[in-house]
């Protein structure tokens, strides 16, 4: 009798969860609205891009399962012909944010209204260059990055950029994830950008996500104790040599964003859900919205009012302190990317680690997590700990097929 009762209860709760999930997502997931809005603009000649024809005319770009529904940004699994991808669509009728939900909303006067008709290619290049300077700081090689964006804007590769193509690229330039995807396109840990239409863009699909654990409906998450959730996460992990390779990938990504060709980026959400890996166990970023240019972050923090340190937080992992003499946030983060990455990896990589490296690995991870201040202030110590961790892990798996 007891068994029948709990079986019935499980079916009831499961059905309720599915119903709530469906109800919530049916209200928030508006893939057809996204497609209709963009395709109307495409047919009116307002926007163009490498994915527009497939999305609006050929119907070969398909928006599938809704993976995330936020008021200003929606994520779908999808297919583009034979390619599997992840499609990210911005909802124009929602407030736009320079850095995300904590920031003051800023509405566009008219979507896709820049550049204006009559803007020359040279003028558009200057617009792009000035925008990149605002986001990334005055880097010496930003002209190269501007040219890279202009080459992306020429979606049909006919040698010139039409006004609709320029409208799409200008909108995309204001999205942190798109900016990072192009700036780090030659790095193996960033998924490939497959195409775009307006401010919708298609990224390479990452087969395995999140980094560890299992995705559960948010309603179920509410009822699971934190301790049990951590145990469940550890059940769904690859073998230790594979975890070591994935961990090396995260350390290399930290190196890439700190010593980036086009300036430094801050990783402001290092939760396991922001990363995944492919079939070769190479780490891939699956959500880069919270990897933001350091220069843009610092400029925003200088202008942010505060009454305490708790007001000087962006995402979950980027914190500065409050200068109470000015009631303004200071611009420098209190913990570098590497310290936060090691905090994410600690339980993941120590569980199941071989006994002959466990003690040293734990020691290096705690030294890493103790790093304070910006990476520039401690570049030698930062590089030393990073290299020590990578060397320790590689040494243990270099003789195996996992390397």
Give the tens place of pLDDT for each residue, 353-362: 999 999 999 9
| Residue 321 tokens, joined | 């302190």
- What is the model's pLDDT at position 201? 96
Note if the bond before 210 is cis, omega within 30 degrees: yes
CA distance 31 to 22: 14
For the chain, give the number of residues: 403
- 255 Ramachandran zone, left/alpha/beta (phi>0; psi -120 to 50): alpha
Neighbours of 295 (CB within 10 A): 21
CA distance 92 to 37: 9
**Kind plus residue range of the DSSP H or E element containing 339:** helix 337-350
CA distance 132 to 138: 8
- What is the model's pLDDT at position 229? 58
Reported pTM: 0.81
- What is the model's pLDDT at position 238? 86
- What is the model's pLDDT at position 246? 94
**Which residue ranges in the chain fall short of pLDDT 50?**
1-27, 93-110
**Could you tell me which residues come within 8 angstroms of residue 54 by beta carbon, excluding any fewer than 6 positions away?**
60, 61, 80, 81, 195
DSSP letter (8 states) at residue 207 = S
Question: Would the CA dihedral through 308, 313, 316, 319 be positive or negative?
Answer: negative
CA distance 240 to 23: 39
Q: Which of 277, 269, 271, 273 is nearest to 248 (CA)?
A: 277
Catalogue the long-range contacts made by 224-233 (C-beta closer than 8 Å, 24 or more residues apart). 230/347, 233/272
- What is the model's pLDDT at position 105? 36
Pairing of strands 322-323, 328-329: antiparallel
């Amino acid at each position: 009798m007891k068994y029948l009762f709990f079986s019935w209860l499980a079916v009831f709760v499961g059905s309720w969860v599915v119903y709530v999930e469906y109800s919530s997502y049916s209200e928030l997931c508006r893939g057809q609205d996204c497609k209709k809005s963009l395709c109307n603009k495409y047919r009116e000649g307002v926007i163009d891009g490498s994915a527009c024809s497939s999305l609006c005319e050929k119907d070969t770009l398909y928006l599938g399962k809704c993976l995330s529904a936020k008021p200003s940004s929606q994520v779908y699994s999808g297919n583009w012909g034979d390619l599997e991808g992840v499609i990210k669509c911005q909802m124009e009728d929602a407030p736009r944010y320079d850095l995300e939900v904590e920031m003051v909303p800023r509405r566009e006067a008219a979507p896709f209204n820049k550049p204006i008709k009559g803007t020359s290619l040279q003028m558009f290049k200057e617009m792009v260059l000035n925008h990149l300077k605002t986001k990334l700081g005055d880097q010496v090689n930003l002209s190269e990055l501007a040219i890279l964006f202009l080459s992306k804007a020429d979606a049909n590769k006919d040698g010139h950029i039409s006004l609709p193509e320029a409208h799409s690229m200008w909108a995309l330039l204001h999205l942190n994830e798109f900016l990072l995807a192009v700036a780090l396109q030659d790095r193996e840990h960033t998924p490939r950008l497959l195409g775009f239409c307006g401010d919708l863009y298609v990224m390479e699909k990452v087969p395995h996500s999140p980094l560890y654990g299992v995705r559960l409906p948010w309603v179920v998450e509410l009822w699971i104790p934190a301790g049990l959730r951590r145990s469940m996460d550890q059940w769904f992990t690859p073998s230790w040599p594979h975890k070591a390779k994935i961990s090396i990938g995260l350390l290399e990504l930290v190196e890439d964003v700190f010593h980036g060709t086009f300036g430094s980026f801050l990783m402001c959400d290092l939760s396991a859900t922001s990363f995944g890996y492919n079939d070769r166990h190479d780490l891939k970023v699956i959500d880069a919205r919270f990897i933001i240019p350091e220069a843009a972050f610092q400029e925003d923090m200088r202008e942010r009012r505060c009454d305490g340190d708790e007001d000087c937080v962006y995402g979950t992992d980027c914190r500065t302190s409050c200068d109470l003499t000015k009631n303004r946030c200071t611009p420098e983060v209190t913990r570098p990317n590497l310290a936060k990455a090691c905090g994410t990896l600690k339980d993941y990589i120590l569980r199941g680690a071989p006994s002959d490296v466990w003690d040293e690995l734990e020691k290096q991870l705690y030294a890493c997590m103790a790093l304070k201040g910006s990476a520039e202030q401690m570049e030698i110590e930062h590089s030393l700990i990073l290299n020590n961790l990578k060397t320790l892990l590689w040494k243990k798996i270099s003789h195996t097929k996992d390397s």
